[in-house]
Structure 1
Amino acid sequence: MPAPALYLHLPGTAAEALEFYRGVFGGEVQQFTFAQFERTDGPATAIAHGQLAGAVDLFVSDAGEADEPFTARGLMVALLGTAEPTTLRTWFASLAEGGEVVDPLQRRPWGDSDGQVRDRYGVQWLIGYQHGTDAAAQAATTAD
Structure 2
Amino acid sequence: MSLNAVAHLNFHGQAREALEFYQSVFGGQLTVVTYADFGMPAELPGAAHVVFGQVVADNGFRVMAYDVPGEHTPAAPGAPTTHRENGTTITKEPFFLSVRGESIDEVNPVWEGLAKGATVIEAFGPAQWAPAFGMLADRFGVTWIVDVAAEYTQA
What range describes the TM-score normalised by the shorter chain of this pair? 0.7 to 0.9
Which protein has the bigger strand share?
2
Q: Paired residues, what number?
A: 131
CA–CA separation in structure 2 for the residues paired with 1:130 and 1:88: 10
Q: Does 1:79 align with 2:80?
A: no
Measured against aligned partners, the alpha-carbon deviations of 1:15-49 in whole angstroms (never above 9, x if no partner) come to: 11111000000000011110111247962211111
Counterpart residue number, 1:43: 46
Deviation of the 1:64 alpha carbon: 4.6
**Maintained 8 Å contact 2:104/2:132:** no
Q: CA RMSD of the aligned region, Å?
A: 2.5
Higher helix share: 1
Give distance in 1, aligned partners of 2:140 and 2:40.
Answer: 25
Give 2:63's match in structure 1, choosing from 45, 58, 64.
Answer: 58
Q: 1:28 to 1:110 in 2, by over 3 A?
A: closer
- Structure 1, unmatched stretches of 5+, are 133-144
Instruction: Write the letter of the residue equivalent to 2:38.
Output: F
- 1:49 match: secondary structure: strand
Shift of 1:2: 3.2
Matches within 5 A, 1:95-110: 95-110=114-129
- Structure-1-length-normalised TM-score: 0.78
Query: Are 2:80 and 1:89 equivalent residues in the alignment?
Result: no
How far did residue 14 of structure 1 move?
1.0
Distance in 2, matches of 1:48 and 1:61, equals: 5
TM-score, normalising length from structure 2?
Answer: 0.73
Distance (Å, rounded) in 1 between the aligned partners of 2:14 and 2:149: 34
Q: Secondary structure at the match of 1:112?
A: strand
Q: CA deviation at 1:93?
A: 1.2
The answer for the alignment partner of 1:142 in structure 2 is none
More off after superposition, 104-113 vs 26-35: 104-113
